[in-house]
Structure 1
Amino acid sequence: MHWLKDTYNWLERRIQLEGPVKDAILHPVPKNTASWWYVFGSAAFTLLLLQVVTGILLAIVYVPSGAEAWSSLQILNHQLPLGWFLRAMHGWGSNFMVAVVLIHMAQVFFFGAYKFPRELTWILGVFMLLMTLGMAFTGQVLRFDQDSYWGLGIGASIASRVPLIGAPLVHIMLGGPIIAGATLTRFFALHVFVIPGMLLAFTGLHVWMVLKLGVNEWPMPGRPVNRKTYIKEYHDLAHNDGIPFVPGAFWKDLVFSGAILAAVAVCAAVFGPYGPTGQPDPTIIQTVPKPDFFFLWLYSVLSYLPANLETPFLLIAPVLGIAVLLALPFYAGEGEKSWHRRPVAVMVLALVAVSWGTLTHLATFTPWSPVMNAWSGATVPAKFVHNLSPTERQGAVVFQSKQCRNCHALGGEGGQRGPALDTVATRLTEDQLIRQVVQGGGNMPAYGTSLSPPEVTALVRFLTTLHPVGQPGATDASRADAETNSPPVKAQAH
């Protein structure tokens, strides 16, 4: 094996990694940190690597287009050998990763590991949690089935409520005014390149800081953090009562990470992949598009909140929560770490855990947030079809058969997701109505692919009749002005 040693020496002279690697694996850590409570960070990193590997393999087959995305997942599920298992490993790996990252954050908070000098380590962890949730959400969108279609519609609705930049934000998010092929392309880029790249970079920096600042010691009562003395106290503890990270603490990380991978594989083999469910169809409202478990709590909150509180909650609560997490190490960076002397922290963690679990459980049977009072096939009230032309009556039939009243009220009856349509003709011109029906916008999906041109024409003609008696419908002022100011056409002699 002399040639192997020579090759190693040749590479080492040029790369010089042996010293840093030895420093990393042999650096001393406090003996009591070689505990099963300290294995969640390494498990999260292992699951991230699993997501990267399985994601690369899936990207070879997956086609991020509105026409092919659903079909490519069917090919993976039913035609490629073990394609279903690969998808299941990726899907269940995502669930496990979110769960492990949440547990790791809770453990860090519980042990006071965000205090001096690990403030930036905690802040990086908060951003890594957000990126993990972002990767999970974008992955759900890429399934592009009924759940993901309407889930993305809800996400776009939430983004549209941001003051001033809501509309541009939706266009950036969807790649246009509607959910289409450009939408999947953007989410594919986010899910495969942008978020994983940032997450790997942040993870590398996070690990580097853990190596440089040391693994947080076991919190002991009566050992508060003091900025002036902590560094020396930790150094003495690690060197006088410490053990090398490898193998002293590493073997538990290795065993736990192996157990997590085995659990992911068992869930993948037993329960299979997530979806896809039916192909996305914007005309089918009764889909109950529940998100994956990590967003079920939000689904439950929005289901129970009154409609007038939804927007304030969505705009204020997340910003406030993230701000509190980021500011935590700055207003509580010193003092006791032990949970025995931090009753407020223990109660906050317990309250958050119980609330999250309760809301997640409630979401398994709570209704979808939009209020759906109308029966899916409820007839249009007679007063709205009196004295209509045949085309306008046909539009009323389309309005009924396409279940428009699940989202829109008419005559005081119907859903409340969209605006009432009793006076819609006074707000939108005929051209604007056509564009809204065909292309969608805001909370409304596009119906251009599910309605034939005659159906669109009939539906819009019916909608133009929805205005109060004696009040004319909306008109295009620029067009009327152009017609008024156009020169008369002179008759030509023949």
Structure 2
Amino acid sequence: MPDLKQSSINIYNWFERRLGLGGPIIEAAEHEVPANTSSWWYVFGSAATVVLVLQVMTGIMLALVYAPTAGHAWSSLQFLDHNVRLGWFLRAMHGWGSDFMIAIVLIHMAQVFLFGAYKFPRELTWIIGVFLLLLTLGMAFTGQVLRFDQDAYWGLGIGASIASRVPFVGGWLVDLMLGGPIIAGPTLSRFFALHVFVIPGILLACVGLHVWMVLRLGINDWPMPGRLVKKSTYEREYHELTEKTGIPFVPDAAWKDAIFAAAIMLSVIACALWFGPFGPTGQPDPTIIETAPKPDFAFLWIYAVLAYLPPSLETPVLFIAPVLGIGAMLLLPLVSGEGEKHWSRRPVAVLMVAVIAVTLGAFTRLGTYTPWSPVMNAWSSLSTPAAYLTHRTPLEREGAVVLQNKQCRNCHSIGGEGGLRGPALDTIASRMTEDQIIRQVLQGDGNMPAYGNALNPSETTALVRFLMTLRDDNVPPAIDASRRLASSGTAHPNSQSTH
């Protein structure tokens, strides 16, 4: 045993002499913190870091088997679930770890906000924390897409249709996200790169910077009523408090972090064993459009909000509210970097956290059973009214059958019957040209996903021919004014030459 101990010491000294990491790590672990920070309220940051390590480790092992191609992604997950020993458990750990990490980061952000830990000198620590929250949500979204099941396929289509509404750059964003106007082979490759390389790289860099700033600036002391934060005196007061009541972080303060992190890990394991992995649901099939895609738990509240919003309010809520919310979080420490930290002296802050928590909880609950389109009165078996089939050619009647079989009337009405989510189709040909209808069907726009992969060319032709018959009596079909102008411009010289 003495020889083994001496050998271990020699190996450690060999590496330490060359790397010099042992001293700084020990110094960081034993740095003194105010005794009042040894609290169960200060354990969420370290727990989030532990879960992040779990996500990295399980993600690496999953990447050894996962095939990031549109043709093999779904089957590789089936192989993991049924042919790899404990493959299903590995997937379950990764999936539940994602949900736990989001929940812990949200609670940590709320605790930091209530404790005033975003105030001087920790403004940048808070700002980096906001980006860590956004990156964590980005990891969850891209991870859901990588399942590439029926929910992920159509959920991604809805996400792309939302991105297309961004002013000026909407089309560019869709091409960047999908690798083209529709979901195809390049789409999964891009999301795999985002989920495995881009977002984790930025996330780990931000975590390292975040931890460094906590070590440099110290852990936020327990807020006391009446103890105001002043830039001129706070750092001196903090150092005096640390000198009087300071305890080494390891082991005096870190044991609570270790216990809580262990409890979280056991909870993740329990959920993985009991509930199993998330998906994959049905194999992605663009010809099956009667699916009701739902996002993962972290995004259910967005799903419910969109389901209840009238279409006219969707774009403002989607693009104005998030920008204002994120902007407010980033500006918070810059406009409120001094003053009272204790929550009892900040009732508005407590009310804000309570309202946000209740709202997120309520909409998440609603999202478990709320459909994407709450006003869907039609059904796939509902036939097209006979008045819309008379005096139609066989090809146009075939288009009516396509309209029925593809469940277009779940969102669109004809003759007052059908869904109200999208515009009525009774006069569509008087509002849109044939080219515009083709583009809308194949590439989508606004709230309508792209159906380019759900229709073959003959079905598209028949559907568009039928839609072009839907206009009021004595109303000509819509025409492209720019083409008419161009046509008249080219004819004008000829008309002059004949006179």
For structure 2, the residue ranges without an aligned partner over 5 or more in a row are 492-499
Among candidates 288, 291, 297, match of residue 301 of structure 2: 297
For residue 301 of structure 2, what is the amino acid of its counterpart? W
Q: 1:250 to 1:9 in 2, by over 3 A?
A: same
Deviates more, 1:367-376 or 1:266-275: 367-376
Correspondence for 2:400: 396
Among candidates 322, 329, 332, match of residue 326 of structure 2: 322
Separation in 1, partners of 2:423, 2:457: 24
1:213 aligns with 2:217: yes
Separation in 2, partners of 1:343, 1:202: 31
Task: Kindly state the Cα deviation for residue 464 of structure 1 after the two structures are TM-superposed.
Answer: 2.9
Separation in 1, partners of 2:423, 2:184: 24
TM-score, with structure 1 as normaliser: 0.91
Separation in 2, partners of 1:454, 1:335: 69
Separation in 2, partners of 1:138, 1:461: 38
Q: 1:150 to 1:413 in 2, by over 3 A?
A: same
Task: Kindly state the Cα deviation for residue 71 of structure 1 after the two structures are TM-superposed.
Answer: 1.4
Per-residue CA distance 1:231-282 (angstroms, 9 max, x = gap): 1111111122111111111222112111111110110000000111112344
Correspondence for 1:30: 34
Per-residue CA distance 1:339-382 (angstroms, 9 max, x = gap): 22222211221222122212222222333236323222221122
Conserved 8 A contact 2:161-2:445: no
Separation in 1, partners of 2:357, 2:434: 52
Task: Kindly state the Cα deviation for residue 305 of structure 1 after the two structures are TM-superposed.
Answer: 2.2
Correspondence for 1:489: none
Separation in 2, partners of 1:395, 1:81: 49
Q: 1:433 to 1:314 in 2, by over 3 A?
A: closer
Among candidates 239, 244, 248, match of residue 240 of structure 1: 244
Among candidates 128, 132, 136, match of residue 136 of structure 2: 132
**What are the equivalent positions in structure 2 for 1:30-429 lying under 5 Å apart?**
30-369=34-373, 371-426=375-430
Separation in 2, partners of 1:310, 1:443: 9
SS in 1 for 2:299: helix
For residue 36 of structure 2, what is the amino acid of its counterpart? N
Per-residue CA distance 1:59-78 (angstroms, 9 max, x = gap): 12222222222211111111
Separation in 2, partners of 1:199, 1:247: 28
For residue 418 of structure 2, what is the amino acid of its counterpart? G
Task: Kindly state the Cα deviation for residue 57 of structure 1 after the two structures are TM-superposed.
Answer: 1.1
Conserved 8 A contact 1:156-1:442: no
Conserved 8 A contact 2:378-2:419: yes
Task: Kindly state the Cα deviation for residue 176 of structure 1 after the two structures are TM-superposed.
Answer: 0.9
SS in 1 for 2:320: helix
Task: Kindly state the Cα deviation for residue 319 of structure 1 after the two structures are TM-superposed.
Answer: 0.8
SS in 1 for 2:67: coil
Per-residue CA distance 1:180-208 (angstroms, 9 max, x = gap): 22111111111111111111000000000
Separation in 2, partners of 1:349, 1:71: 43
Deviates more, 1:227-236 or 1:367-376: 367-376
For residue 331 of structure 1, what is the amino acid of its counterpart? V
Task: Kindly state the Cα deviation for residue 298 of structure 1 after the two structures are TM-superposed.
Answer: 1.6
Conserved 8 A contact 1:440-1:446: yes
Separation in 2, partners of 1:150, 1:134: 18
Per-residue CA distance 1:381-440 (angstroms, 9 max, x = gap): 222211112222222122212212112222333224444333434455556655554555
Conserved 8 A contact 2:158-2:449: no
Deviates more, 1:56-65 or 1:130-139: 56-65
Q: 1:434 to 1:317 in 2, by over 3 A?
A: closer
Per-residue CA distance 1:433-471 (angstroms, 9 max, x = gap): 555545555544454544444433332332332334444
1:462 aligns with 2:472: no
For structure 1, the residue ranges without an aligned partner over 5 or more in a row are 487-494
SS in 1 for 2:247: strand
Q: 1:437 to 1:366 in 2, by over 3 A?
A: closer
Deviates more, 1:14-23 or 1:280-289: 280-289
For residue 168 of structure 1, what is the amino acid of its counterpart? W
Separation in 1, partners of 2:438, 2:312: 29
Deviates more, 1:143-152 or 1:31-40: 143-152
Conserved 8 A contact 1:370-1:407: no
Conserved 8 A contact 1:36-1:252: yes
**Percent of pairs with identical residues:** 67
Matched pairs, number:
486
